[in-house]
Amino acid sequence: MAFQPIKFYQTGTFTVGNRLLPPETRSVQANMRRTNSLNSGHRACQGCGEALGARYAIDAAMSATANQLVAVNATGCLEVFSTPYPETSWQIPWIHSLFGNAAAVATGVAAALKVKNRKHVRVIAQGGDGGTTDIGFGCLSGMFERNDDVLYVCYDNEAYMNTGVQRSSATPPAARTATTMAVGSEPGNVFGQGKNLPAIAMAHEIPYVATATIADLRDLEYKVKRAMEIRGARYLHIFVSCPLGWGHESELSIRIARLAQETGLFPVFEAKRGEVTGVSKIRRQKPVEDYLRPQKRFAHLFAPSPHVETIAAIQAIADRNIRRYGLLDGAAA
């Protein structure tokens, strides 16, 4: 899984395309005829990680299903910036109903397609972390439990960005949001267990659960493709950076997502029926500071005086992930 360094090639498979690779091993995004399911003209912020992740995922799904795809969208940034009347950026059949019901609506679409003998048309539900881990959690769990034929894609930017960057259950410890301000003796978000949705999804023992980031396109596309080869409930959790909400330069969106993976803060793996079956190893391990520093939401950890313990605690989370998932070569998987 993840990257496989093909040493014979200038860039192996790290780049989107690589003219030296045989066409079949290039990414969907490298293709001149990719579907651009989420088309130009959308109103996402400059450098929006979610816009990128959504096109990556949906284009990959389109190519995996020969364009026989329907998407259901939860309320959130993606929905708002992609379909403000009178324009939509979607090139595919797409429906938005509510904030908390994307998974259920998708279940309905899948049921209708099944009853109409159109099972070749596949269904994707997608939403942000708020619509997935918080308000949409009940419907999502129900969809999992019934093993409905839906791929649910969560674009995790770790807060409610659409409403102005408020805390969600996916907001990481110490992160500043509009509702977890960087004030007081323990600034930023609390150090809780958080809500590890991939793990919760795995606990449902659904056929397929995977995580990915916008920094590893090949891996992301592989997982969408893999998910589309499977029937039943599937869950893909994509880490997408948010320049606005995280307070980093727009051009750093991918770099920061890469750092989340290379520090171990965001483990990239896939699981079948509740068992981890593949892990993306860390290629060049980085300390969590490298990830935290470029983001204003963590600025209070470094100035006026560095919160050494807090940073250490975050490093501990990364180290635990590295142990738990065996993210380093030689580490026990």
Partner 1 sequence: MLKQIEGSQAVAEAVALCRPEVICAYPISPQTHIVEALGRMVKSRALAPCEFINVESEFAAMSVAIGASAAGARTYTATASQGLLFMSEAVFNAAGLGLPIVMTVANRAIGAPINIWNDHTDAMSQRDCGWIQLFAETNQEALDLHIQAFRLGEELSLPVMVCMDGFILTHAYERVDIPPQEKVDAYLPRFEPRQVLDPAEPVSIGAMVGPEAFMEVRYLAHARQMRALELIPDWAEEFWRVFGRDTGGLMHTYRTEDADTVVVALGSVLGTVKDTVDELRDRGAKIGVLGITCFRPWPAAAVQRALLKAKRVVVLEKSLAVGLGGIVSTNVRTSYAGRPDSVHTVIAGLGGRAITRASLARVLGLAMEGELAPLEFLDLDMGAVERVLAREHELRRSGPLAEAVLREVGAVASRAG
Partner 2 sequence: MRKPFAITLDPGSSLANHTGTWRTFRPVYVDRLPPCNSACPAGENVQGWLAHAESGDYEAAWRLLTEDNPMPAVMGRVCYHPCETKCNRGELDDAVGINSVERFLGDEAIRHGWKFDAPAGSSGKRVLIVGAGPSGLSAAYHLARAGHAVAVHEAGPVAGGMMRFGIPKYRLPRAVLEAEIARILALGVELKLNAKVANILDAMKAHSFDAAFLAVGAHIGKRAYIPAGSSSKILDAVSVLRSMEGEAKPMLGRRVVVYGGGNTALDVARTAKRLGATDAIIVYRRTREKMPAHDSELEEALQEGVLVKWLSTIKQAGESSLTVEKMLLDDKGFPQPTGELETLEADSLVLALGQDVDLSLLEGVPGLAIENGVVKVGPNMMTGHAGIFAGGDMVPSERTVTVAVGHGKKAARHIDSWLRGATYAKPAAHAPAGFDRLNTWYYSDAPKTLRPTLDTVRRQSTFEEVTQGLDETNALYEARRCLSCGNCFECDNCYGVCPDNAVVKLGPGRRFEVNYDYCKGCGLCAEECPCGAIDMVAENN
* Positions in 17-36 near partner 1 (CB under 8 A): none
Counting beta carbons within 10 angstroms of the beta carbon of residue 304, is it exposed (0 to 12), middle (13 to 18) or buried (19 or more)? exposed
Burial (Cβ within 10 Å: 0-12, 13-18, ≥19) of residue 324: middle
How many CB atoms sit inside 10 A of residue 144's CB? 24
Residue 120, burial from CB neighbour count under 10 angstroms (0-12, 13-18, 19+): exposed
Question: Which residue, 56 or 298, is less far from partner 2 as judged by CB?
Answer: 56
CB closer to partner 2 out of 54 and 292:
54
The CA-based diameter of the chain, rounded to the nearest angstrom, is: 63
Chain residues 150-209 in contact with partner 2, contact rule CB under 8 A: none
Q: Which does 249 bind (CB under 5 to 8 A by kind): partner 2, partner 1, none?
A: partner 2
96 near partner 1 (CB under 8 A): yes
Does 16 sit near partner 2 (CB under 8 A)? yes
Smallest gap, in angstroms, from Cβ of residue 113 to partner 1?
6
Categorise residue 315: left if φ over 0, alpha if ψ from -120 to 50, beta otherwise. Answer: alpha
- Closest contact distance (angstroms) between CB of 47 and partner 2 is 4
Contact, 153 vs 234, CB < 8 A?
A: no
Q: Within its chain, how far is the Cα of 243 from the centroid?
A: 15
Residues 6+ positions from 326 with CB-CB distance below 8 Å = 279, 332, 333
List the single partner that 331 binds among partner 1, partner 2, none, CB under 5 to 8 Å by kind: none
Residue 273's binding partner out of partner 2, partner 1, none, with CB under 5 to 8 Å set by partner kind = none
Binding segment for partner 1 (CB under 8 A), chosen from 74-82, 181-189, 203-211, 225-233, is: 74-82
Q: If binding is defined by CB under 8 A, does position 27 make contact with partner 2? A: yes
Return residues touching partner 2 (CB under 8 A).
Answer: 5-12, 14-20, 26-27, 29-30, 32, 36, 39-44, 46-49, 51-52, 55, 82-83, 85-92, 217, 243, 249-255, 258, 284
